[in-house]
Chains A and B, each alone.
Chain A
Amino acid sequence: MSRRAIFLKEYLKLKWPLTILFCLVVPILAWFWWSVDLAFHTTEPEAMLWYHAAQLGNKPYQKLIWFYLFSATLIAWCQAVPEMLRNRIRILIHLPLPLYRLVFQHLLAGAVMIITVNLVVGTGAGLIVAFHYPAPIATRAWSDLFFWLLPSLVWYVGWWAVIVETGLPKRLFNFLLMSALTFLALKSVYHVADIWILPATAVLAAAVYGGFLSIKSQGFTSYSYRFALVTLCCVVALLGIKRYQQEFVTTSDKYYIFYSPVLEDFVFQQNLGNHQYRYASATAEFTREGYEEVLPFVYWRNLEIQGKMPVAVGGSLYTSEMIRDHRLSVPYHPQDIESSVIPLYPLFNPSSIRGILPFPNQAFALAQKRLLVYNGEQHSRHPDPELTATINERLLEVGAQLPITNAWGRTTSMKPFDWGYFLQDNHGQIFHLRRADDHVTVKPVMVDASVGGEIVHMQMVENRQMEFYGFAITSSSEVLLVRYPDYDLIPLPLAGFDHTRMQFQLLSDPLHHLVRYDDGSSYRAAVFDRNWRLLKATAFK
Chain B
Amino acid sequence: MNHHPDVVIEVCELDHAYGSKIVYQGLNLQLLRGSVFGLLGKNGVGKSTLIKILMGFLAPQKGVCRVLGEASHDLKPATRERIALLFEGFISYDWMTIAQIERFFSAFYPRWRKQIFYELMSQMDVELQRKLTDLSCGQKSQVILGLLLAQDAELLILDDYSMGLDAGYRALFIDFLKDYLEGTDKTVLITSHVMSDLERLVDQMTIVAGPEQVHHSTMTDFCRDFRCYQADCPPSASSRIHRCEQRQGHYYLFSFADQKLLEQELSQPLKEVSISFEDKFLGFAGKY
Contacts and interface: CB of A to CB of B under 8 A. Distances in A.
Nearest to B81: A96
A2 B105 CA distance: 9
A249 interface: no
B200 to A, nearest CB: 28
Contact of B93 (A88, A93, A218): A88
B80 A88 contact: no
Given A90-B55, A96-B81, A4 B91 contact: no
A176 interface: no
B95 A82 contact: yes
A1 B87 contact: no
A218 B57 CA distance: 9
B73 interface: yes
A293 B259 CA distance: 119
Interface in B109-147: 109
A98 B75 CA distance: 10
A2 B89 CA distance: 26
Interface in B43-57: 55-57
Given A12-B100, A86-B91, A94-B85, A217 B107 contact: no
Contacts of B81: 96
B25 interface: no
B117 to A, nearest CB: 15
Contact of B57 (A9, A82, A95, A217): A217
A9 B93 contact: yes
Contacts of A95: 77, 80, 108
Contacts, number: 71
A8 interface: yes
Contacts of A13: 93, 95
B177 interface: no
A215 interface: yes
Contacts of B56: 93-94, 216
A329 interface: no
A87 B100 CA distance: 21
Contacts of A218: 59, 73
A5 interface: yes
A8 B91 contact: no
A2 B57 contact: no
B103 A216 contact: no
A352 to B, nearest CB: 74
B151 to A, nearest CB: 10
Contacts of A98: 77
A308 to B, nearest CB: 83
Given A90-B91, A215-B57, A1 B77 contact: no
Contacts of B73: 216-218
A93 B80 CA distance: 9
Contact of B80 (A2, A8, A96, A215): A96
A2 B110 CA distance: 11
A90 B86 CA distance: 10
A216 B57 contact: yes
Contacts of A1: 107-108
28 contacts: A1-B107, A2-B108, A8-B100, A8-B103, A8-B104, A9-B93, A12-B100, A13-B93, A13-B95, A82-B95, A86-B91, A88-B92, A90-B55, A90-B91, A91-B85, A91-B92, A91-B93, A93-B57, A94-B80, A94-B85, A95-B77, A95-B80, A96-B77, A96-B80, A97-B77, A98-B77, A216-B57, A217-B58
The 7 closest A-B pairs by CB, nearest first: A5-B107, A96-B81, A96-B77, A1-B107, A96-B80, A5-B104, A86-B91
Given A8-B104, A9-B93, A97-B108, 6 more contacts: A1-B108, A4-B107, A5-B103, A8-B100, A95-B80, A216-B59
